[in-house]
Every structure is written in C-alpha cells, then in structure tokens.
C-alpha cells in the first residue's frame, strides 16, 4: 500500500479495518502444472546476508554464457537479488508494478517486470512496505501474477528462485510445500547461524517429503569459506553434497561490493562458477537428514557456542527481589456436606 493511499484514508479506524479485510481475504491456490519444456526450477535458500544474491547473479551469468536460457527470480522482500546482475541498479518489482498498473486500470505486461542482461532474464517479486503487510503473502501474490503471465509456458532451461531462508513463513516455503521446484540448494558458511538456517530448510524438505512431497535438497554452496570446515561437516552429516566452495577472498569481496560480475568465462574466478553451473545442472535432489540443535552445536567448539554453560533455574526470590512474596493458593476448597 502506497503512502498516498494511506493519506487518503479518512481515519485510523478505517485503515485498520482495510488491513483486516486484506488479511482475511482468501488466497488462491498457486497452480503447479507441468511446464511445456523440461525446465529445472531450483529454489536457493540461505540466511540473509550469506551471499545468495552474489552466488546466483554469477551462477546465472555463467549459465547464460554456456548457452543456457536462464530466468532469475528474486523472492526476497529486500529485492536485492538482481542488483549485482544489473550493476547495482534496482529493477521495478512485480508487486510494486502490479499495484501501480491496477490503480491505472492497466494490465501488467512481461516487459514491465522482466529485464535482461547478456542472456540472463531477471525479475524481482518484491514485498510490502515495512509494517504494512506480510512478506510471505506477497510471495504468493507474486506467483499468482506470474501464472497469469504464462510462467509454465516459458521456455527456460533453468529458473532460479532466490528465497530468504531465516524467515519461518509459509509463503517463503511455497516451492517446497507445493512442489513448485524440483530441487533446493542451500547457501551457508562456517558459522552457526547460517548452518542453523540450512538445517531448518532441510527440516522443511523432510517434513513435506513425509506428507508426500517430491522436492529434495540437491546440495550446498559454501560461501566465504575460511577453511574451518564446519559447513562441510554439516553437509556430510545431513547427507547432501557440496556443490562449490567459494573462498573468503578480498578480491571477491571487493568486486561483489562494487557490483561486478566475476562469473565470466575469461575471469580468474570463471572456472569456479563453471564448475558450480555443471554441478547444479547434474545434481540429484536427495532426502536430507536434519540435525538436532545439540548435533548442530557439536560441529563447533564448546568455547565458541557456549555448549558447557549450565542452565540454572531461577527462583521466586530471584524474581521478587529482597523479600520473597508467598501468596496463598487460588485453589477453591469446598466444605464437606
């Protein structure tokens, strides 16, 4: 909802009522019909800031240079998936464009939301303004519009979906829950938080497999690898392959920060992304074995995660201060007749 539409609201009460009506509106089921072309639809998940957008921008660029037709769809409300691909320039999002077109009484055309560079096609679903909607619901509405634009008739070799993994929300789990993709890839590093998110994604895949789903985890990309080995150990424990290991390198960090594509055949990093592209294409989705929280912590030294800390129960005296307050029971006792 735009700022202008908020300003036209006659009262805060009516604005709240409108929000409640929107939240209560039923959500149409997203179709999952079979594409007319054999297309690999791959959902990539990871913790915010772990480097999904960097990985996907370079991966999609390399795939295009190898002669593949690739569509990159950003499904993160931050709308930063395509920024690196387009040299730091933000492209109009589907949700934003749809709202503007609706107000103008016009239909959304593919050229309004999909843009291309050197053979890579890309678009951003977008999300609501802060505090004014649900990001997951925005994802669902975005895919509904893609359906109307003919998503399942498009002739791509690869469709790459960039999803935020550290938000436990049905909208962000859409590709897994509704078999909208064939496989999932997780991006993580050698830190507990990113592996926690990767483990949650594996848990979601396992949960829906138990319900009859078909999506599997095709592997992990280890980004900013510092050689400590926790991410590789995690991948081995949950039973998924490591598709690529991207080192913690100053040249990569600097070029990424300046929105420079390094996944070019002639680049010094070209062979690394060429190998990743090959591994992504041939990877087989598997059913992961998620770890428990204690098992996940065991990948790290006790000093780094506080595993040796003892949980000491608090007392009523601790909570009340100097003098413990003892209250009579609220139990009702009936006299004998």
Task: Tell me whether residue 100 is one of the annotated catalytic residues.
Answer: no
Residues 6+ away with beta carbon under 8 Å from 331? none
Any catalytic annotation for residue 183? Answer: no
With beta carbons less than 8 A apart as the criterion, state whether 54 and 276 touch.
no
Q: Decide: 187 and 220 in contact? Cβ < 8 Å.
A: yes
Tokens standing for 134? 């649900």
d(CA 262, CA 62): 9
Q: Which of 76, 80, 162, 166 is catalytic?
A: 166
Of residues 47, 80, 225, 255, which has the active-site annotation?
47
Q: What is the DSSP letter of 300?
A: S
By CB atoms closer than 10 A (0-12, 13-18, 19+), residue 313 is exposed
Cβ atoms 48, 166 nearer than 8 A: yes
Closest CA to 127 of 95, 97, 101: 95
CB 172 within 8 A of CB 143: no
Distance of CA 255 to the CA centre of its chain: 23
Does the active-site annotation cover 52? Answer: yes
Decide: 75 and 167 in contact? Cβ < 8 Å: no
Residue 206: which H helix or E strand, with range? helix 192-210
DSSP 114-137: -EEETTEEEEE---PPTTSS-HHH
Please say if 166 is a catalytic residue.
yes
> Active-site residue among 69, 78, 101, 237?
78
Please list the active-site residues: 47, 52, 78, 166
């Amino acid at each position: 909802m735009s700022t202008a539409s908020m300003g036209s609201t006659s009262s805060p009460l009516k604005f709240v009522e409108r929000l409640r009506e929107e939240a209560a509106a039923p959500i149409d089921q997203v179709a999952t019909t079979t594409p007319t072309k054999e297309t690999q639809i791959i959902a990539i998940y990871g913790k915010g800031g772990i480097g999904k957008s960097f990985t996907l921008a370079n991966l999609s660029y390399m795939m295009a240079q190898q002669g593949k037709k690739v569509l990159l769809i950003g499904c993160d409300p931050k709308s930063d998936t395509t920024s690196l691909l387009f040299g730091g320039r933000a492209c109009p999002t589907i949700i934003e464009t749809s709202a503007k077109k609706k107000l103008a009484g016009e239909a959304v055309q593919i050229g309004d939301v999909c843009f291309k560079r050197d053979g890579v096609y890309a678009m951003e679903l977008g999300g609501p303004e802060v505090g004014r909607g649900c990001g997951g619901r925005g994802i669902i509405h975005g895919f509904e519009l893609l359906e109307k634009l003919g998503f399942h008739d498009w002739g791509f070799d690869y469709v790459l979906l960039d999803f935020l993994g550290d938000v436990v929300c049905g909208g962000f789990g859409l590709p897994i829950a509704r078999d909208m993709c064939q496989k999932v890839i997780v991006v993580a590093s050698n830190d507990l938080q990113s592996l926690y998110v990767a483990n949650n994604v594996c848990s979601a895949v396992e949960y829906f497999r138990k319900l009859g789903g078909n999506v599997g985890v095709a592997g992990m990309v280890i980004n900013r690898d510092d050689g400590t080995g926790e991410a590789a150990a995690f991948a081995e424990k949950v039973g998924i392959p490591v598709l690529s290991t991207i080192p913690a390198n100053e040249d990569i960090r600097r070029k990424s920060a300046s929105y420079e594509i390094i996944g070019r055949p002639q680049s010094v990093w070209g062979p690394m992304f060429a190998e990743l592209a090959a591994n992504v294409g041939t990877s087989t989705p598997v059913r992961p074995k998620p770890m428990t929280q204690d098992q996940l912590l065991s990948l790290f030294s006790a000093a780094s995660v506080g595993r040796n800390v003892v949980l000491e129960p608090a007392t009523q005296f601790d909570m009340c201060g100097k003098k413990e307050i003892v209250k009579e029971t609220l139990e009702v006792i009936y006299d004998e007749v």
